[in-house]
Structures are given as structure tokens and as C-alpha cells.
């Protein structure tokens, strides 16, 4: 074909088939902009959508627009306006897109050919890419997220049977030519190439003045637009929700909904961009449409978090980076405490200056690509795709109930925004010597830093908070928002109490703790610091919404608990929490633990506060403590979450230690650990044993804490011989004792105990009836054993040989919950509940603690035996046996298995055999199902080199560089507490 004919062909109108996901209106509204620009360029656009016609026809009146009402995916199904139902989302997707997949593909291929489509565009329907490929038509996706990333977390709640959905979606996406990526994007490794475009934003039709004139609203009236896309069920808006003189424009209200006089119901087809631009701020939930248009029109956005929609953290980061967002606590939304948030919002000056013509840019790229131009040229780098893939891998290994974790090297829109994440404490410590970190700003009135660099760093970070109060505009772009919240937390003229509690490495014992085993635990170097100030309510500097809540009650100053937690940037949770301490009371008595769990469950983005605030309730209930003053509390933890090194226990122990110190409570480390276990069991609702809290509270640096968990008898400290060294290696797979697998194995163990007791009772009755009243000595001994086993309090009190001789063959492999309850009534575990429809593994779950208790005893004895290669080999073998016993219980994982295999390969390599062996054993730790592996070896330079080699090989195989846990530090009891006071306190505002 000659040049002239090529140019002639480029002028011909094109036919675009544009597929729109069934998730919300936000996708449809941005599709409108791209489609409008394609039509302006003279092309036909067939939109395949489930959205109402008016969304498109109100903006595009053209015979070149064709609407086809078909729903090919469902997006995320919402349980209510703020909560995604993960299981229902997967089931609906399966019903909509998986079961009828073959017929969908056949229908779409035929339709694409019938309309003579030149190009397929998808936002962001997976099957559209496959249909295009089958029809021989090129396709492109336009989006800020993809459904493989969103659904990756959901499959962990649903089980592996849904995992194929994620792979199928990713495979479909991989068939498109490239991705046109919008700002505020999530990791999307399925796409081969990427082109970034500006925000896609709907244009304005009317000016602010024109809109207000049509509505009859003067310029002096403050307007908030309530833009929820569906309001919480049963929610009744009240006049007092708004500040005096304000008006609220309500989107999406039902026809029957009655509104107060200061709320104005908008028509269903009202053009939202014009109304947004005429408003002073917006209240709603985060989505691409709301965030992009808020940024484009410089409209302050008061947002409430949604649960389990993983697009949100990335959009939220972008919104807050451009100083356009204020987060509202869910309970304040529902109870009407809006005023402080709205008043804060109108003081913001959103600063987004980027392009808002993404629709035009995207349309031009689509047109040129359809005409044959190559835009990509491998723009998406290999490292970039790898990072995205690792984040997706994180999602696919998450445990239900855990927040979204974004690794610290991955930041939202890093090329565009240059954001960082991470602990401010850790960032402060970089490139500083101990001399530089010496806390000159504080006078230490009690306690000793013990030379701990992390404590010195924390104090320096604490001292720097007042600079944010004095100069909030000079915080720099890397200051994370929780530091701003912390800046106003303390009264610098009052004393502050600081406690420190480390995480722990489970060397031996693990999940046998709840069955009464001996355990050996080592406190790690990483720790949580908590700073607490007890202060009279009249002197506490309350956040505006907390102050407004008190004022609304018509009371004077009353005790309030205010918490700031560093690290919220790494997961989808709020950085602050506050509550009236009276919320923990019914009359003069503390509320029940059940009501406390319900209290913290109301807002999943603040559920983390149960670990901290729960310590207050436990002190009230268990020790009868009355808190008459307010409490301000700052949490800064370097213990990584979800790695199986007791991040939750370190937070609980540090929090309770600091609160106890500030209130003059003398609680022994052992008692404090038991109280903290109650926080986790009864307030958080996680069925953990006590070894984590006990190690964090009672441990000593470079020693193993030996404890019999019946319930918590500390036997003492066991020295780690100088020639032996212990490491922890993180698998990169998140772990949680609140996960379903840990709980089911625990239930199976308790079921096993009850079955053993029942068998023993039967055997005892038969023995007594057969032998009469005069048994000989051997028979009497057997009777005594059966009597003890018939009333067995802990499985670990049953020896392995008795288990094998009397019970092993009589225990079922598994049992349905209903069958067990029908025969044995209850498993007698106060912190777990049997699901009658579930099948529980019994034999492996019961066998593990019986043998583990023996292994731990042997391990402890070997540590004090003569130094030899046989000693190290035997210690390592015990670790290996423990690891495979975990796997028999169903608590293994691919990542931890791979690490253990790498240790074995290193141990049995020719180099190790020819020389002096260095690594001897490894095992999964803690609750299992991921997390960290414990490795034991010779304390030598060569062993450290081999650990680093394992780290390198694991990264090469998985793309994930494991965290190494090396070293140890003292427990909270040994650290005690610091009582500090500013030497030259800044003036309080």
C-alpha cells in the first residue's frame, strides 16, 4: 500500500467497543470522557455497560454513541455503603463471569464481528480482553486498578478454591496491548506495557455562581455535598449534623427519604461535577471518580474509609499528598459529629496542579494505536513489574482479618508523587550515631535507656514533634500524617512515661502453648515503644472532633483516651483513635468483653486500637482500676506485622506497661503478660496462648525464656551457649493468630483432649469393673494413669508413649463440628467456638503438642550438654521435626517450606560436609500459615554468610527479599519505664 493510501486509511472513522465494569458509576463517568473525545474525533463508540443510560446520554448526544446493556462482571459487592462483602463478591463474579464464560466469549466474539469493531477498550472488564483476542482485534485497558489485585485479598477469606479467579483475570489482562494507567494507581503486574495519562475528569457545564443561583443559594452559605453512591442502611440525617448556616446537597437519596430543612435532595440524574465545583467541601467515600474530581476542582474531601476495597489506600495517599483530604471516623459519620471535620476541610488549600485532560489524551492514544502507531516501546520496566507482582503476591498470601500491607519500598504513584512510607522512628535513626541520638531535650526522672539505640531514637523523634506544632507548614513532603496528629498529643509541661516491649522469636514450643507445653522463646531486637501521658481533662489538648463530641453532650471536660499509631501508611487503617473513657462503663461497672469487641468492630479501619485501648478495659475489669484522668498515648513499633514475631503482643505489653507506670500501678511482668493475653483473647478476639506476651514482658536479652504454659509458669532463663546462634528469616507471607487456620487447629487440639478424656474414662470403667476392688500393683498403676488421663487438663501432660499405646489409633483423623458437639457437648476452650458445619482435623492437631512438649524438653536439655557437632545436629533435628508436624496440622506454607528446604540444602552441601557444618535446622514459628522461620546454627562468620546466601536464593526464587531477625533485647520487665520531662518545653497553643 502506498503512502497516500496509508494516510487515506487513517482518516476513516473507527469503531471502538468500550466495555465498562459493573462496579459503581465512577468507571462509567470516566468512560464518558474518553468516549466523548473519541466521538468528537469522528469515531463510533459502542459502550457495553450495566449503568443507566443517562450517565452517558446526559453528556454525549450523538448518533455515534451506541449503548448495549450487558453486565459482564460485577466488581465488588457491598454489604453496606462502607463495607465490601468479599465472599459475596467472589461468588457473584463466579456467577456472572466464570460459570457462563464460554457462552460470554462466543457471544462477544460474534458481536464484535457484527459491529465491525476495530479496537476494544476495557475499563476494566477482564473477559473483554480475551474476547478481543479471540476475535483477532487489539485491545487496551484504561484504569487505576485491576480486578486481580482487588480480588487477591478476597480469595484468602474464601479459601483456595477461588484462587483460580485471580489467575484467570490476570491472564485475560495480559492479552491486551498495553495499559493506559490513571493516577492513584495500584500494582498491576498483569499488563505488559503501561502508558501514564493525566486525571480523567468530567468537564464543567456551569459556573459556581450559576449553580448556586439555580439552587437559590447565596455565596455566603457553606455547602457540603454528600456523595456516597448509596447511604448506610437505616441512616437518618439530622439537622444538627451540620454547623449553623451550612447546607448539605445529598446525592443518591431515595425518593421516600425525608430530609431536614438544611439538607437538599438532588435529582438522580443531577450533574455532579457542577455541584461539586459549587460546593465548599465534599463528604463521601473514596473512589476514583470522587478523588479525581475533588482534586481537579480543588474541593476539600472529607472521607470515610471503606473495608476491603484495596484501591483505597493508593487513592487516599494521592488525595492527602495534594492536601485535599480529611479523614472522618466512621462512628462520627453515623452519629452526626460532622462539624469539626467540615470546619477543618474548608481551611485546606488543595494543591493539585497536574493535568485533568486524561480523557482527551487517552482518546488520542487509542485512536493512534488503532491506526498502527506504537506508543509503548517497552515503557514498563522489569523491576517495576516485579515490584507490582510481589505486592500481588502479598495479597494472595494474606490471612483473613488483616489489613492491606503495602511493602515499604512500594509507594503510591512513586514516579509521579515521590512518596515514601515507613516508620518515622526508623527514618530518624538513619545516619545517626548514638551520640547524636542522646536525648538532650529530655530530663530522665526515672529509668535508664540501657544504651538501646531504638529507645534513644524514639526519644529524639518525640522531641521533634513540637516543631510540627510551631511550624506545621515546614514539615516537608515526607512527613507522614500520623506525626502531625502526634504533634498535638502531649502537654510538654507534664511528665511523659515511656515503655518498651520487644517482639519474640519462637525457638521451640509454638502452637503447643495452649496445650500446656514447655516453650522456649527469645525476645528479638525489634520492639514497640509507647509514650503515655496522664493528664487532667481540662488540660488535655483534644482533637477537634473529640472536643466537638464532648460539647455536643453538654458536659464539661471528661476523661478521653487519644491514641496515635505510627505505621498506618503501611496498611489501610486510621492513624488515630479516640474515645471517651466513659464508653467503657455501664453505670459504674466496666462493660463486658463481648461489648468491647463489638465496640471496636464497628469501624474496621480502627480495629487496631483494640490492642491498645483494650489494655485500659482489662485493667478496669481485672484490677478494678478507675481512670479519672485523660490519657494521651503514642505507639511506635518496629516489630513487623504479620511476620509471626508477636507484633501484637509487643504493642499490648508496651501499652499496658506505660499506662501502669503513668498511674503508679505496680504490676509484675508475669501478671502483666497474663493481663495482656486477656486483651488479645477477649477484647481483640484472637485465640492466642500466653507465650508471646510472657516473652515480651519477662524475657532477657540473648536468653531463652523457659515457660510451662499451665497457664504461665516461668521456669527461668536458659543461656544460649556462645557457640550457638539463632536467626529468624521472614517468608514474606503474612501470618495472623486471628486467622481461620490457627483457630481450627486449636479447636482440633481441644477436641482431641476431650476425646482422650472420654476414651480414658471408658477404659477406666472397664478396668474397675473387671478387676474389682483388689487390683495388684501393676493394675493399680494403670488405674491411676487412666484416672489422670480421664481428667486431663492439658494435652502436654500426656506422654508420647502413653499417647501411642492408648489413644493414637482411637482418635479420628477429623470430625464434623456438629458430630463432635453431639457426642462430647463442648471442647472446653474459652477463646474459640466450634463451627458445627466445619470439618476439624483432630489427630494431627492433638499429636503435635504431645510430641512438641517432648521435643522442647529435649532441646532445653541439649543446650546444656557438652559442646559437639552431635549437639548441634540433634538441636537442628528437633527443629525439623517440629516444622513437619506443623505441616501435618495444615499450618505450613510454600514460603516457609522453601526457606526450610534452603537451610537443608545448605546444611547438606558438599562445602558444609567437607568443612565444619554451620547451619543445622529450621522450623516455622508461632501460629504458622506463613510468617517467620527460626534457624539454628554455629555462631561463626561462615554461618552468617550462609544465612545471607539463603536470603539471596529466596529472593531469586520468589522476588521477595526476606527480613532477617538477628540479635536480641530485654523484655519490658527488665526495661522498666522512663519518666521524662522536656527541659525547655515549647509554648502550648
Q: Is the model's pLDDT at 499 over the cut of 80?
A: yes
Give me the count of residues in the chain.
Answer: 989
Let me know if the fold of 15-201+371-397 is the same as that of 208-352: yes
For the cut 50, the answer to whether the pLDDT of residue 63 exceeds it is: yes
Q: Are 818 and 837 in contact (CB under 8 A)?
A: yes
Confidence of residue 405 (pLDDT cuts 50, 70, 90): very low
Average pLDDT over residues 144-168: 78
Mean pLDDT (whole number) for 344-364: 94
DSSP code, position 736: -
Which DSSP string corresponds to 33-91?
HHHHHHHHTT-EEEEEESS-THHHHTT---TTEEEEE--------EEETTEE-HHHHHH
Question: Worst-scoring range by mean pLDDT, 310-314, 348-352, 741-745?
Answer: 310-314
> How many Cβ atoms sit within 10 Å of the Cβ of residue 175?
18
pLDDT digits (tens, 9 = 90+) for 681-726: 999 988 777 889 999 999 999 999 999 998 888 999 999 999 999 9
pLDDT of residue 572: 58
- Cell matching residue 196: 501514564
Q: Does residue 425 have a pLDDT over 50?
A: no
468 pLDDT more than 80: no
> Does pLDDT of 71 surpass 50?
yes
pLDDT classification of 419: cutoffs 50, 70, 90 = very low
pLDDT at 433 over 70: no
- H or E, element range at 392: helix 382-396
**What is the β-pairing status of strands 576-580 and 560-565?**
antiparallel
pLDDT at site 155: 76
Q: What is the mean pLDDT of residues 878-897?
A: 93
Q: Cβ contacts of residue 235 below 8 Å, gap of 6+? A: 334
Provide CB contacts within 8 A for 180, sequence distance 6+: 140, 141, 142, 143, 195, 197, 362, 365, 366
Give the active site residue among 454, 578, 603, 692. 692
User: What's the pLDDT tens digit per position in 760-795?
Assistant: 999 999 888 876 555 566 567 788 899 999 999 999
Residues in CB range of 571: below 8 A, 6 or more apart? 313, 403, 404, 405, 406, 641
pLDDT at residue 424 in the model: 29
Judge whether residue 751 has pLDDT over 90: yes
pLDDT value of position 610 = 94
Q: In this prediction, what percent of the chain has a pLDDT beyond 90?
A: 60
Please say if the pLDDT value at position 919 is more than 50.
yes
Q: 482-711, which class in CATH?
A: alpha beta
Report pLDDT for 274: 95
pLDDT at residue 175 above 90?
yes
% of the chain with per-residue pLDDT over 70: 86
Mean pLDDT of 936-955: 91
Question: Residue 166: what are its φ and ψ, rounded to 5°?
Answer: -65, -45
Sequence-separated (6 or more) residues with CB below 8 Å from residue 609: 563, 565, 577, 600
Instruction: Read off the C-alpha cell for 528.
Output: 514497640
Residue 414 pLDDT exceeds 50? no
606 compared with 414, residue with greater pLDDT? 606
Give phi and psi for 438, each to the nearest 5: -55, 130
Per DSSP, 810 falls in state G
Q: What CATH architecture does domain 15-201+371-397 belong to?
A: 3-Layer(aba) Sandwich (3.40)
Q: Quick one: pLDDT at residue 720?
A: 93
Q: Which of 222-236, 426-440, 675-689 has the highest mean pLDDT?
A: 675-689
* pLDDT band for position 1 (cuts 50, 70, 90): very low
pLDDT at 321 over 70: yes
Strands 630-637 and 585-586: unpaired
**Mean pLDDT of the region 344-349:** 93
User: All 3 cell numbers of residue 166?
Assistant: 485471580
Domain 208-352: which CATH number of 3.90.228.20, 3.30.465.10, 3.40.50.2000, 3.40.50.2300: 3.40.50.2000
Which H/E stretch holds residue 732?
Answer: none
When mean pLDDT is compared across 272-276, 384-388, 741-745, the lowest value belongs to: 384-388
Find where cell 514498563 sits.
380
What residue ranges do the domains of the chain occupy?
15-201+371-397, 208-352, 482-711
Q: Which of 84, 139, 118, 108 is nearest to 13 (CA)?
A: 118
Answer yes or no: 44 catalytic: no
Does the predicted model carry a pTM greater than 0.85? no
Q: How far apart, in Å, are the Cα atoms of 373 and each of 35, 43, 377?
A: 20, 17, 11
Distance CA 779, CA 885 (A): 34
Average pLDDT of every residue of the chain: 86
Amino acid at each position: 500500500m502506498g503512502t497516500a493510501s496509508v494516510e487515506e486509511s487513517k482518516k476513516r472513522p473507527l469503531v471502538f467497543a468500550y466495555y465498562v465494569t459493573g462496579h459503581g458509576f465512577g468507571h462509567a463517568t470516566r468512560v464518558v470522557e474518553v468516549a466523548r473525545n473519541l466521538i468528537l474525533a469522528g469515531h463510533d463508540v459502542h459502550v457495553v455497560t450495566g449503568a443507566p443510560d443517562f450517565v452517558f446520554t446526559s453528556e454525549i448526544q450523538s448518533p455515534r454513541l451506541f449503548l448495549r446493556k450487558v453486565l459482564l462482571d460485577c466488581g465488588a459487592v457491598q454489604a453496606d455503603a462502607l463495607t465490601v462483602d468479599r465472599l459475596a463478591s467472589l461468588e457473584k463474579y463466579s456467577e456472572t463471569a466464570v460459570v457462563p464464560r464460554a457462552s460470554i466469549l462466543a457471544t462477544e466474539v460474534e458481536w464484535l464481528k457484527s459491529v465491525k469493531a476495530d479496537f476494544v477498550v476495557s475499563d476494566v472488564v477482564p473477559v473483554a480482553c480475551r474476547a478481543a483476542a479471540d476475535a483477532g482485534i487489539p485491545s487496551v485497558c484504561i484504569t487505576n486498578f485491576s480486578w486481580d489485585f482487588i480480588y487477591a485479598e478476597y480469595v484468602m477469606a474464601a479459601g483456595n478454591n477461588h484462587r483460580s479467579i485471580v489467575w484467570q483475570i490476570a491472564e485475560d489482562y495480559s492479552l491486551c496491548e498495553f495499559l493506559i494507567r490513571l493516577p492513584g494507581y495500584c500494582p498491576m503486574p498483569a499488563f505488559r506495557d503501561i502508558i501514564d495519562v493525566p486525571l480523567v475528569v468530567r468537564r464543567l457545564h456551569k459556573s459556581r455562581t450559576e449553580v448556586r443561583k439555580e439552587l437559590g443559594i447565596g455565596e455566603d452559605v457553606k455547602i457540603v455535598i454528600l456523595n456516597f453512591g448509596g447511604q448506610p442502611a437505616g441512616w437518618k440525617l439530622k439537622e444538627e449534623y451540620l454547623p449553623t448556616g451550612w447546607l448539605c446537597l445529598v446525592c443518591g437519596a431515595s425518593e421516600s427519604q425525608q430530609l431536614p430543612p438544611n439538607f437538599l435532595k438532588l435529582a438522580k440524574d443531577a450533574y455532579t461535577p457542577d455541584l461539586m465545583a459549587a460546593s465548599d467541601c465534599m463528604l463521601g467515600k473514596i473512589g476514583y471518580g470522587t478523588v479525581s474530581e475533588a482534586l481537579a476542582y480543588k474541593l476539600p474531601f472529607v472521607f470515610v474509609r471503606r473495608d476491603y476495597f484495596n484501591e483505597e489506600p493508593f487513592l487516599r495517599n494521592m488525595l492527602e499528598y495534594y492536601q485535599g483530604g480529611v479523614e472522618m471516623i466512621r462512628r462520627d459519620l453515623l452519629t452526626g459529629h460532622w462539624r469539626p471535620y467540615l470546619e477543618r476541610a474548608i481551611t485546606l488549600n488543595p494543591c493539585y496542579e497536574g493535568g485533568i485532560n486524561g480523557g482527551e489524551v487517552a482518546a488520542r492514544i487509542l485512536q493512534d494505536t488503532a491506526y498502527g502507531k506504537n506508543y509503548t516501546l517497552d515503557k514498563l520496566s522489569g523491576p517495576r513489574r516485579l515490584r507490582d507482582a510481589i505486592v500481588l503476591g502479598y495479597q494472595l498470601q494474606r490471612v483473613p482479618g488483616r489489613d492491606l500491607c503495602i511493602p515499604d519500598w512500594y509507594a503510591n504513584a512513586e514516579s509521579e508523587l515521590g512518596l515514601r512510607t515507613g516508620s518515622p522512628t526508623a527514618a530518624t535513626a538513619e545516619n545517626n550515631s548514638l551520640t547524636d541520638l542522646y536525648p538532650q531535650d529530655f530530663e530522665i526522672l526515672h529509668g535508664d535507656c540501657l544504651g538501646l539505640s531504638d529507645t534513644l531514637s524514639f526519644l529524639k523523634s518525640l522531641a521533634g514533634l513540637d516543631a510540627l506544632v510551631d511550624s506545621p507548614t515546614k514539615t516537608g513532603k515526607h512527613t507522614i500524617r500520623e506525626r502531625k496528629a502526634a504533634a498535638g498529643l502531649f502537654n510538654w509541661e507534664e511528665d511523659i512515661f515511656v515503655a518498651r516491649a520487644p517482639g519474640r522469636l519462637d525457638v521451640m514450643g509454638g502452637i503447643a502453648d495452649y496445650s500446656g507445653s514447655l516453650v522456649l522463646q527469645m525476645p528479638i531486637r525489634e520492639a514497640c515503644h509507647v509514650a503515655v501521658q496522664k493528664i487532667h481533662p481540662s488540660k488535655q489538648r483534644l482533637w477537634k472532633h473529640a472536643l466537638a463530641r464532648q460539647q455536643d453532650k453538654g458536659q464539661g471536660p471528661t476523661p478521653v483516651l487519644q491514641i496515635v499509631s505510627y505505621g498506618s501508611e503501611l496498611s489501610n487503617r486510621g492513624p488515630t483513635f479516640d474515645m471517651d473513657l466513659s464508653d467503657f462503663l455501664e453505670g459504674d461497672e466496666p462493660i463486658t468483653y463481648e461489648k468491647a469487641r463489638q465496640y471496636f468492630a464497628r469501624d474496621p479501619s480502627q480495629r487496631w486500637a483494640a490492642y491498645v485501648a483494650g489494655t485500659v478495659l482489662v485493667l478496669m475489669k481485672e484490677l478494678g482500676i478507675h481512670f479519672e484522668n485523660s490519657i494521651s498515648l503514642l505507639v511506635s513499633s518496629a516489630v513487623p506485622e504479620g511476620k509471626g514475631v508477636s507484633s501484637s503482643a509487643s504493642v499490648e505489653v508496651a501499652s499496658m506497661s506505660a499506662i501502669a507506670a503513668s498511674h503508679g500501678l505496680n504490676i509484675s511482668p508475669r501478671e502483666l503478660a497474663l493481663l495482656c493475653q486477656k486483651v488479645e483473647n477477649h477484647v481483640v478476639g484472637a485465640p492466642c496462648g500466653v507465650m508471646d506476651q510472657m516473652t515480651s514482658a519477662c524475657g532477657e536479652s540473648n536468653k531463652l525464656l523457659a515457660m510451662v504454659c499451665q497457664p504461665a509458669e516461668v521456669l527461668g532463663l536458659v543461656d544460649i551457649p556462645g557457640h550457638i546462634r539463632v536467626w529468624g528469616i521472614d517468608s514474606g507471607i503474612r501470618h495472623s493468630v486471628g486467622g481461620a487456620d490457627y483457630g481450627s487447629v486449636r479447636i482440633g487440639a481441644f477436641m482431641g483432649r476431650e476425646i482422650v478424656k472420654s476414651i480414658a474414662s471408658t477404659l477406666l470403667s472397664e478396668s474397675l469393673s473387671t478387676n474389682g476392688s483388689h487390683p495388684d500393683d501393676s493394675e493399680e498403676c494403670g488405674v491411676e494413669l487412666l484416672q489422670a488421663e480421664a481428667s486431663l487438663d492439658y494435652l502436654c501432660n500426656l506422654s508420647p508413649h502413653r499417647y501411642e499405646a492408648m489413644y493414637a489409633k482411637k482418635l479420628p483423623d477429623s470430625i464434623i463440628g456438629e458430630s463432635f458437639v453431639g457426642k462430647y457437648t463442648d471442647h472446653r476452650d474459652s477463646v474459640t467456638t466450634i463451627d458445627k458445619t466445619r470439618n476439624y482435623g483432630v489427630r494431627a492437631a492433638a499429636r503435635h503438642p504431645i510430641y512438641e512438649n517432648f521435643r522442647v524438653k529435649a532441646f532445653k536439655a541439649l543446650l546444656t550438654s557438652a559442646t559437639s557437632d552431635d549437639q548441634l545436629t540433634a538441636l537442628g533435628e528437633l527443629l525439623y521435626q517440629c516444622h513437619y508436624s506443623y505441616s501435618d496440622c495444615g499450618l505450613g506454607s510454600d514460603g516457609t517450606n522453601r526457606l526450610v528446604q534452603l537451610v537443608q540444602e545448605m546444611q547438606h552441601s558438599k562445602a558444609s560436609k567437607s568443612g565444619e557444618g554451620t547451619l543445622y535446622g529450621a522450623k516455622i514459628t508461632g501460629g504458622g500459615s506463613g510468617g517467620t522461620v527460626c534457624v539454628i546454627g554455629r555462631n561463626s562468620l561462615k554461618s552468617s554468610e550462609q544465612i545471607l546466601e539463603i536470603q539471596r536464593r529466596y529472593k531469586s526464587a520468589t522476588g521477595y527479599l526476606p527480613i532477617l531477625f538477628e540479635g536480641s533485647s530485654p523484655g519490658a520487665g527488665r526495661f522498666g519505664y522512663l519518666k521524662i520531662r522536656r527541659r525547655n518545653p515549647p509554648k502550648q497553643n
